[in-house]
Amino acid sequence: MSNNIETAVAAWLNSSIAETDKAEIRRLQQENPDELADAFYRNLEFGTGGLRGLMGIGTNRMNKYTVGMATQGYANYLRQCFGDAVSVAVAHDCRNNSRFFAETTAGIFAANGIKVYLFEALRPTPELSYAIRHLGCKGGVVCTASHNPKEYNGYKAYWDDGAQMVPPHDKNVIVEVEKIAGPEEVRWTGNPENIVMLGKEMDDAYIDMVRGLSVYPDVCKAEHDLGIVYTSIHGTGITLVPAVLAGFGFTNVQVVEEQSTPDGNFPTVVYPNPEEREAMSIGLAKARALDADILLGTDPDSDRVGIGVKNTAGEWVLMNGNQTAVLAFNYLIEARKTKGIAGANDMVIKTIVTTDMIDRIAAASGINCYNVLTGFKWISAMIAEKEGKEKYIIGGEESFGLMIGDAVRDKDAISAVALLCEMAAYEKNKGRSLYAKLVDLYLQYGFYKEGLVSITKKGMNGAAEIAAMMQGFREKPPTVLDGVAVTTLLDYELRVETDIATGAAKPIALPGSNVLQFLLADGSKVSARPSGTEPKIKFYFSVNAPLVAADAIAATEAALDARITRMATELGLG
């Protein structure tokens, strides 16, 4: 064990932490020194979105002390920026210890003279974002690890616009958090009168806001018996989704009971993530048995949504995040034009790793489509930049996230569920399915197929290995992939776009981020990006080809999948 680790362990053993926690450290010293080393080899990083990590004792774990020190630093920064008139909202999801972390967070804010609106029980992350704006708060926190496995928890920090922080506030908060040297510097208790509970009144306000996003309420009424199956995957969605769908007029909503009780152990799944087929399998079986029209699932904090529909052969398929985004973006663009409510200044926003098919759809309607860095905080930042000049309609990213309207400034699976059901009702009213609509879009714009390869690098050496992989691609980018020339390297960390053939370079306007993109001569794209929340490096592949006929979809998809496989192999990822 290194000297740094031994020093960190000794500091905690000599600190004011609870004796039970000191006993756990001593147990690890005797029984599992490797786990102890991993728990103390670094401080759990307060990144630009907050904290996320395994729960347990140690500087590199989610626990009362790391949450407390983060909250103290954040409170200090809020007071620096806003003085004494500061209020925040605090929420939590279903995870083990989430309520404890939320109450700890609220208590520390209160002890620092900050008014706290604390949700009375678990609530979806998007409602936290909405509450910040609705109540005029200066910031907020939600305790969640989103879709991570049950061993994890996290702490997302928000600013006064209801979005996670962007420069300069993200970096400034990190500086203040890093100034907190230990648990002794945290104001743990005091001023409990500063804590106000939030409940039904905020739920009702949020539900009313979501209802206002409907474009075709008459169609929802006509198709009120649309067969909807919904699973909350043991998460917070169960608190609002049934009420929201009822508010849209849907009367045939079947909840997956096996997954409806909030439970931080996620007993029916390995990963509580609607991106995973396994997490949607129980819902899929129920949808098939009921011959439903649409299946929807949300992750533990209800910011991601997955959907299943029947294909043209009547077989149930799960759509990926890009397909869902294509349908949602296109629906709002088309519906607003058809109803005569589209504006000349309408805009949509997506991330740089989300399908370029959306760019084509927007361009065909004369709507600006802005590409931003990964993360909804950057979508929110673009909304703020364009405020008063362009009207934001919808934003999204490939990782099953959508943000409809600007009342919420983070991805929102609750409103997405409602919109997707309205979309299914709209298509059913015309005698077809959402899948048939997707095929029509492929025929019109081309078949865009995306693939993702994630490589996990855990532990003390993982970050170094990921950094080495990125540096290797940065210094020696591929020049040919699957027989097609790589024409352009986009290095978002250096903020430079380079022509591979000539070496000519020009600046990238977006903020710096550790992302590389390789653009190919045929319109294909490969992106490499270390995850900001998990010990992974992700490679995003995007290829496309014309779809000549609806019955050619299987063959076209197989050919595009084969291309992605060959490209991944050539990059050494196979």
Q: Which residues are catalytic?
A: 146
The three-point CA angle 328-330-336 to 5° equals 100
DSSP 138-198: SEEEEE--TTS-TTEEEEEEEETTSSB--TTHHHHHHHHHHH--SGGGS--S--GGGEEEE
Q: Tell me which amino acid residue 68 is.
A: G
Q: Tell me which amino acid residue 480 is.
A: V
DSSP 356-371: THHHHHHHHTT-EEEE
- Nearest by Cα to 49 from 238, 301, 414: 301
- Quote the radius of gyration of the chain (alpha carbons, Å): 24
- Would you call 500 exposed, middle or buried from its count of C-beta atoms within 10 A (0-12, 13-18, 19+)? middle
The three-point CA angle 294-295-301 to 5° equals 135
The three-point CA angle 462-276-518 to 5° equals 55
Cα torsion 180, 185, 191, 195 to 10°: value is: 30
- Distance, in Å, from the CA atom of 516 to the CA atom of 467, rounded to the nearest integer, reads 12
Tokens representing 460 are: 């003390």
Tokens representing 517 are: 């993109």
